[in-house]
Chain A
């Protein structure tokens, strides 16, 4: 079976408006057969909008797609599939309860009414024998690691005959090793002219290591681009963030080592399915120390944070704060000043339908000055506190009475951080605090976490972004399948070794 070669794709003048916002403004892109083209930009720069217009999810307000010189109307994903376009999403589109084989067959546009599994399996095996990845067709997808799932997403697109692969931040769920492997293989395939790859990313390293061309977007516009070899890192940074250089890391105060402020002993926590997510984890964080927990998403980090926040009851184990046993009741949280910034705070730490001021008061509304005698609240005091925190933490909101769900992701993050940091925490637990934020907001949030550490808080920082941990943490541990499998001091940390232990504890 010979493989079809990828077509020449020309995207011209794509423009997409959402109400008053122009998400994409006259962006063009040319993909030669076998290209490896990166689209670089911050969150909200219009990268996803561009490819969603190509894939037929959005109807562009202007612009069109030429394939091998011919204009094609892409009215929906099926039209895009017929042109050979396939998209690999940031969030997996595999069906977790199905096997790998079922998932591969599922995407076929000409899926027969009754599936001849023997025939399908033969064709899958023949296909897999030409592929650089090994997968077991009978495994249930839900039980696979993130890296495996990402490979299967890519295999699925190739199996379905898609020759223009669009990858939307594919490495955000992979360890550095897995990312290198996946992108490396795609790089080879594109050099051989078997596929064209479009890589959406905000990571400079991926652009430099794998892409041959790059297009940089900012605020919906094409700012620049060209052959990657013609551009320096400084050029890319300047184009992407519109400033000459990346912000400096927050200053780290030199503090003397101190006894453990937060201690966790033998903590075991179950997940939603009743399976063990955190296995007898023990750790200690000193006052004025940031302990970074590295790991690929889904290795128990969420459950660990929820257990510390009081959102999930642990099976066994003890949490200590300043040496005393700690249970996250409202009284103890307040007395011990243990505060938490969970991931996806708009879902996990806010009431979206309440105002910003009310969300800021969730820790303090039942105490004076907001609480009055007889169970009444002082709206005036509540607003005053809201105004003060909005000012201090530079939250961009229409005012203290704006509903939280009108705020952008970065400002929701600032709101929760303002609430949790306003009472000078002794212990701060933060998970992926900068996920989805732009460079400036990221620098600001990291600065606040560092400032809390410098002021003597014990910080437990769980992050999927290894660069973030390398910047902030004093010590780094790696979490894999619910266990802590590796520990290193910041000074001695080697990202390669850490990345390796994120994939296995060997």
Chain B
């Protein structure tokens, strides 16, 4: 069956994989975009993602409701965001260092608390079968789309609107682009950044629950393998634009799906090499989009990395 479609089969598998795999990237990158627009970098989102995956899975297993799991994962993510924001608002604290600490703390805590949930199987999130019209099983599988993916697209559009056309969006951008102006307008930098970091954490937590509750759909310690960190790099490449975040997430999803897709058509040599595609892509994009001669275009000017 696979052999019949050949290269086409691989293409379809990559596209389907991209849609499936891109969702956590999309949530983390949208969350990080919002946080960075307020002038702060939260490198801890990898830890938040893993915590979200663990807690979402645990809650789904304990209550039988995967959607409650998603919600709790988001809430835990917001809690991690709050922790990051509170520590960062202390004097002379560097947000990058706090982020790395929370990254390690989050993954460590998730492994510790998640030990009992590695074996049992929790109910998974359902998907929308958008491939009903096709007779080809590959296309059907590729078009099994999770509601969280659709929600992610809506979220990207909503975030773009919020940043451009609401009071909240303008205030967040002001705080991230010109702290003096925000102070002169009487806004609290700490308050805005705290809320933006919490919202970012919420989204990363939701992204994590997707990993454990839909694809791959189990909880184990190697679940994320750095997707949260790659999503942060993705934000730089997407130039802090929510719509670009969506497209770049798809690209990263495709890179991540490359290895499994080739395997699915029976091409197994260099399997580990193709599995490394997303890391190579991250490195390549960062090298390509940075320059020793000039600062990052479009970066919020209050970010520690822009100064």
- Cα A455 to Cα B239 in complex, Å, equals 53
What is the distance, in angstroms, from B168's C-beta to the closest C-beta of chain A?
7
List the B side residues contacting A106 at CB < 8 Å. 170-171, 174, 181, 185
Report yes or no: A112 in contact with B167, Cβ–Cβ below 8 A.
yes
List the A side residues contacting B178 at CB < 8 Å. 93-96
List the A side residues contacting B180 at CB < 8 Å. 89, 91, 93
What is the distance, in angstroms, from B295's C-beta to the closest C-beta of chain A?
5
- Which of A230-238, A271-279, A332-340, A394-402 has 4 or more CB atoms under 8 Å from chain B? A271-279
In the A-B complex, the 6 residue pairs with the closest CB atoms: A274-B294, A93-B181, A77-B186, A78-B186, A111-B167, A93-B184
> Assuming the A-B contacts A93-B181, A98-B177, A272-B294, are A113 and B167 also in contact, with contact meaning beta carbons closer than 8 angstroms in the complex?
yes
What is the distance, in angstroms, from A102's C-beta to the closest C-beta of chain B?
6
What is the distance, in angstroms, from B176's C-beta to the closest C-beta of chain A?
9
Question: A-contacting residues of B (Cβ < 8 Å)?
Answer: 165-168, 170-171, 173-174, 177-178, 180-181, 183-186, 291, 293-295, 297-298, 300-301
Report yes or no: B174 in contact with A273, Cβ–Cβ below 8 A.
no
List the B side residues contacting A98 at CB < 8 Å. 170, 173-174, 177
List the A side residues contacting B174 at CB < 8 Å. 95, 98, 106
Report yes or no: A270 in contact with B294, Cβ–Cβ below 8 A.
yes
List the B side residues contacting A113 at CB < 8 Å. 166-168
Is residue A114 contacting chain B, with contact meaning CB distance below 8 A?
A: yes
Is residue A369 contacting chain B, with contact meaning CB distance below 8 A?
A: no
- Cα A312 to Cα B54 in complex, Å, equals 49
List the A side residues contacting B300 at CB < 8 Å. 97
List the A side residues contacting B173 at CB < 8 Å. 95, 97-98
Q: Which of A78-108 contact B (CB under 8 A)?
A: 78, 81, 87, 89, 91-98, 102, 105-107
- Cα A95 to Cα B180 in complex, Å, equals 9
Query: A296-318, CB under 8 A of B: which get 1 and which 0?
Result: 00000000000000000100000
Residue ID in chain A nearest B292 by CB atoms: A313
- Cα A107 to Cα B181 in complex, Å, equals 9
Per a CB cutoff under 8 Å, which of A87, A114, A272 touches B184?
Answer: A87
Residue ID in chain A nearest B298 by CB atoms: A97
> Assuming the A-B contacts A89-B180, A102-B170, are A274 and B186 also in contact, with contact meaning beta carbons closer than 8 angstroms in the complex?
no
> Assuming the A-B contacts A81-B186, A273-B297, A274-B291, are A94 and B181 also in contact, with contact meaning beta carbons closer than 8 angstroms in the complex?
yes
- Cα A107 to Cα B300 in complex, Å, equals 19
What is the distance, in angstroms, from A282's C-beta to the closest C-beta of chain B?
23
Kindly list 7 other residue pairs between chains A and B, CB separation below 8 angstroms, not including A114-B166, A270-B294, A274-B293.
A81-B186, A89-B180, A95-B178, A96-B178, A107-B185, A114-B165, A274-B291
- Cα A112 to Cα B295 in complex, Å, equals 34
Residue ID in chain B nearest A93 by CB atoms: B181
List the A side residues contacting B167 at CB < 8 Å. 111-115
Per a CB cutoff under 8 Å, which of A94, A107, A117, A271 touches B165?
Answer: A117
Report yes or no: A89 in contact with B184, Cβ–Cβ below 8 A.
yes
Report yes or no: A76 in contact with B186, Cβ–Cβ below 8 A.
yes
What is the distance, in angstroms, from A435's C-beta to the closest C-beta of chain B?
19
Residue ID in chain B nearest A315 by CB atoms: B293
- Cα A97 to Cα B241 in complex, Å, equals 13
- Cα A273 to Cα B294 in complex, Å, equals 5
What is the distance, in angstroms, from A317's C-beta to the closest C-beta of chain B?
16
List the B side residues contacting A274 at CB < 8 Å. 291, 293-294, 297
Report yes or no: B170 in contact with A105, Cβ–Cβ below 8 A.
yes
List the A side residues contacting B186 at CB < 8 Å. 76-78, 81, 109
Residue ID in chain B nearest A86 by CB atoms: B184
Query: A334-370, CB under 8 A of B: which get 1 and which 0?
Result: 0000000000000000000000000000000000000
What is the distance, in angstroms, from A257's C-beta to the closest C-beta of chain B?
38
What is the distance, in angstroms, from B24's C-beta to the closest C-beta of chain A?
28
- Cα A102 to Cα B171 in complex, Å, equals 11
Report yes or no: A115 in contact with B166, Cβ–Cβ below 8 A.
yes
List the A side residues contacting B168 at CB < 8 Å. 113
- Cα A117 to Cα B164 in complex, Å, equals 10
Report yes or no: B181 in contact with A77, Cβ–Cβ below 8 A.
no
Provide 6 A-B residue pairs closer than 8 Å at the C-beta atoms, listed in order of the A residue. Answer: A77-B184, A78-B186, A96-B301, A102-B170, A114-B165, A273-B295
List the B side residues contacting A105 at CB < 8 Å. 170
- Cα A107 to Cα B167 in complex, Å, equals 10
What is the distance, in angstroms, from A59's C-beta to the closest C-beta of chain B?
15
Residue ID in chain B nearest A112 by CB atoms: B167
- Cα A106 to Cα B172 in complex, Å, equals 11
- Cα A145 to Cα B218 in complex, Å, equals 57
List the B side residues contacting A270 at CB < 8 Å. 293-294
List the B side residues contacting A81 at CB < 8 Å. 186
What is the distance, in angstroms, from B307's C-beta to the closest C-beta of chain A?
11
List the A side residues contacting B166 at CB < 8 Å. 113-115
Residue ID in chain A nearest B299 by CB atoms: A97
Per a CB cutoff under 8 Å, which of A89, A96, A112, A313 touches B177?
Answer: A96
List the B side residues contacting A95 at CB < 8 Å. 173-174, 177-178, 181
List the A side residues contacting B177 at CB < 8 Å. 95-98
> Assuming the A-B contacts A76-B186, A78-B186, A114-B165, are A271 and B294 also in contact, with contact meaning beta carbons closer than 8 angstroms in the complex?
yes
- Cα A280 to Cα B170 in complex, Å, equals 39
List the A side residues contacting B295 at CB < 8 Å. 272-273
List the A side residues contacting B294 at CB < 8 Å. 270-275
- Cα A6 to Cα B301 in complex, Å, equals 36
List the B side residues contacting A272 at CB < 8 Å. 294-295
Report yes or no: B185 in contact with A77, Cβ–Cβ below 8 A.
yes
What is the distance, in angstroms, from A81's C-beta to the closest C-beta of chain B?
7
Most chain A beta-carbon contacts within 10 A, residue among B168, B171, B177, B186:
B186
Residue ID in chain A nearest B296 by CB atoms: A273
List the A side residues contacting B171 at CB < 8 Å. 106
- Cα A81 to Cα B297 in complex, Å, equals 34
- Cα A274 to Cα B299 in complex, Å, equals 14
- Cα A111 to Cα B166 in complex, Å, equals 9
- Cα A114 to Cα B164 in complex, Å, equals 10
- Cα A454 to Cα B168 in complex, Å, equals 59
> Assuming the A-B contacts A93-B178, A273-B297, are A115 and B184 also in contact, with contact meaning beta carbons closer than 8 angstroms in the complex?
no
